[in-house]
Amino acid sequence: MSMPTIKQVRAFTLRGGGADYHDQGGGHWIDDHIATPMSKYPAYRQSRQSFGINVLGTLVVEVEASDGTVGFAVTTGGELGCWIIEKHLARFVEGALVTDIERIWDQMYQSTLYYGRKGIVLNTISGVDLALWDLLAKVRGEPVHALLGGPVRDELQFYATGARPDLAREMGFIGGKLPLHHGPAEGEEGMRRNLELLATMRERVGDDFWLMYDCWMSLDVDYATRLAARAAEYGLKWIEEALPPDDYWGYAELRRKVPRGMLVTTGEHEATRWGFRMLLEMGCCDIIQPDVGWCGGLTELLKISSLADAHGKMVVPHGSSVYSYHFVVTRHNSPFAEFLMMAPGADEVVPMFHPQLLDEPVPVNGRMKASVLDSPGFGVRLNPDCALHRPFAR
Ligand SMILES: [Mg+2]
């Protein structure tokens, strides 16, 4: 078969919902007094939007092949991501064969080292990489998971992230992960409220349902250790992203200090095989949680996952819907997946990337058949009703 080449890469912004899932209206659980590294400033404590969690907006990457096939992906990156693609990365993509994914990744990463390595640049590289996988799989007429070696199980099972683990249990999920609401600056009263919510949920869900706390980088080792010790009484399964992502030493210390059986998880804001090598070799956590739209894309996630496998660690990607599912279903060390409850009250299952994506599958009774993922590419379409803006069109 003669392989098509990539004719053009285009970068767009898009506001509201989808990959920019923090850009929500008032009253949504995802912006309701959640503990963050900014919580020490009372003015930025009530809402994450107040300190700018939603400033970037969604980045949509389209890659068009010489045979007319179009691959695309969405991630967080907005106008900055568009600039990086149109002004810099496009040169490595356009004219390449649609199979040139590994070479393109290396050139995108090496050429941006002097200003990249993590953060927005890696978000952007991830977006291009995911669009390239979508394109290649569509050209081949296969789902992305088939290019990764195929499913290793018949179905995915999910835990739910949101404010209502009690409802998640009724909806068939295997666990519920709560956002932590109060950080160290809110003192003993905040600690008491954190434990109270956990106790209430434990009472509602019974003994066998997983409960976790996502701390979104908001704590220090002392607070996290005390929270873990007291939360053990309510069977907390894991404590997630308790510390800032650069504090590898703190994570290693926390992991030594948490009660036996409680897991320490992190990695949502980590990137590349080198970042995760730090987490793994320093004994920072029990589960790594890369976001495939931020850590370097699927090409890099495969390397990160192999590294974790060799360390005997699980990889349970952060959110990201179909971009995660096609990976999770092919990995032995990813036995379950995260589902982000995007209904404002976390009281019903709605597509994570609504309204940006069409045909996005959601779990039913906390599960999803692998066969649901059998359409070509990632199996989703960009909603034509969403207004795309291309700020740096060439
Ligand atoms: Mg998290």
Q: Give mean pLDDT in consecutive 10-residue pieces for the chain, a chain of 394 residues.
A: 94 83 84 95 95 94 98 97 98 98 98 98 98 98 98 98 98 98 98 98 98 98 98 98 98 98 98 98 98 98 98 97 98 98 95 95 98 98 95 97
* 106 marked among binding-site residues: no
CA angle, residues 178, 320, 379, in degrees to nearest 5: 140
| Distance between Cα 177 and ligand 1 center (Å) | 9
| Distance between Cα 248 and ligand 1 center (Å) | 17
* 20 marked among binding-site residues: no
pLDDT on residue 19: 67
| Distance between Cα 67 and ligand 1 center (Å) | 40
| Distance between Cα 268 and ligand 1 center (Å) | 6
List, in order of start, the domains of the chain with CATH numbers. 6-20+56-141 (3.30.390.10), 147-375 (3.20.20.120)
* 269 marked among binding-site residues: no
pLDDT on residue 1: 67
For 260, counting Cβ atoms within 10 Å of its Cβ (0-12 exposed, 13-18 middle, 19+ buried), the class is: exposed
Q: 6: which strand partners?
A: 65
Residue that has been written with the tokens 């590419």 in this structure: 377
For residues 297 and 59, is the Cβ–Cβ distance under 8 A?
no
Q: Which residues are the active-site residues?
A: 318
CA–CA separation, 254 vs 258, rounded Å?
6
User: What residues have their beta carbon closer than 5 A to ion ligand 1?
Assistant: 214, 268
* 22 marked among binding-site residues: yes
CA-nearest of 147, 121, 157 to 336 is 157
